[in-house]
A and B are shown apart, each in its own frame.
Chain A
Amino acid sequence: AQTVTQSQPEMSVQEAETVTLSCTYDTSESDYYLFWYKQPPSRQMILVIRQEAYKQQNATENRFSVNFQKAAKSFSLKISDSQLGDAAMYFCAYRPLGSEKLVFGKGTKLTVNP
């Protein structure tokens, strides 16, 4: 079964600093998608970044970037210049090509300290 593991239940970072959230996954598929979603206190799930497994280049969205290591099945999220508004639960998710289902990790709660 495909699983997604987020080994850090909680993380904290100082405002303006950089933080990296870890995610590993287990799959036998070669083609799939990976996502990071943010869930702030409002509970609205927001797509942060997505990565196609066939692309070697790491995805980047402004202050958010990923380190995708396909062989290691690792998909970490780096948040640069952290802002107070980045405080939220962050969920890593996996979806194999040909399936509509997202498999979520258990989440990492990020606290940003002023």
Chain B
Amino acid sequence: GAVVSQHPSWVICKSGTSVKIECRSLDFQATTMFWYRQFPKQSLMLMATSNEGSKATYEQGVEKDKFLINHASLTLSTLTVTSAHPEDSSFYICSARAPGLLTDTQYFGPGTRLTVL
């Protein structure tokens, strides 16, 4: 149980275009999802916390107009990188937390590698 998927696993896009990444909880309902960014050989940096049916809470320094997060259902959250630039190239990871399922634990997706040309 507690499987989280991400799609796509990797994406290459041109500078100036937008890219959407999906995060799904496959076998549980996730009231809260999290989006992280990870640079090579570095730790995970929390970008935002996404709660179903409400606006995401962004960490300091994260541009909410650039990284649009939508958590429209209990099993799906999306991250849209708008007007992507090469500096947005990174590994993006989502995680999900479920009530009643080891509520103090986050389960992670496999990540999405974004390359902006």
Interface residues of A (CB under 8 A from B): 33, 35, 37, 42-47, 50, 52, 91, 95, 100-102, 104-107
Q: Is B46 an interface residue (CB 8 A)?
A: yes
**In the complex, A43 Cα to B41 Cα: how many Å?**
11
**In the complex, A100 Cα to B46 Cα: how many Å?**
11
Question: How far, in Å, is B90 (CB) from chain A's closest CB?
Answer: 12
**In the complex, A44 Cα to B2 Cα: how many Å?**
14
State which residues 67-100 of B face A: CB under 8 Å: 91, 93, 95, 97
Query: Beyond A91-B43, A91-B44, A100-B97, is A43–B111 a contact (Cβ under 8 Å)?
Result: yes
Q: Which of A37, A43, A50, A106 contacts B110 (CB 8 A)?
A: A43
**In the complex, A16 Cα to B73 Cα: how many Å?**
45
Query: Beyond A44-B108, A47-B105, is A100–B44 a contact (Cβ under 8 Å)?
Result: no
A44 near B104: Cβ-Cβ < 8 Å: no
Number of residues from B at the complex interface, CB < 8 A: 21
CB neighbours of B111 from chain A (8 A): 43-44
A42 near B44: Cβ-Cβ < 8 Å: no
CB neighbours of A45 from chain B (8 A): 44, 93, 95, 108
A52 near B104: Cβ-Cβ < 8 Å: yes
**In the complex, A91 Cα to B44 Cα: how many Å?**
9
B104 near A42: Cβ-Cβ < 8 Å: no
Query: Beyond A43-B91, A45-B93, A45-B95, is A104–B43 a contact (Cβ under 8 Å)?
Result: yes
Q: List the B residue with the shortest CB-CB distance to A105.
A: B43
Q: List the B residue with the shortest CB-CB distance to A43.
A: B111
Other A-B contacts than A35-B105, A91-B44, A107-B42, 19 sampled, CB-CB below 8 A, are: A33-B105, A37-B108, A43-B38, A43-B91, A44-B110, A45-B93, A45-B108, A52-B104, A100-B97, A101-B34, A101-B46, A101-B49, A102-B34, A102-B44, A102-B46, A102-B106, A106-B42, A106-B43, A107-B43
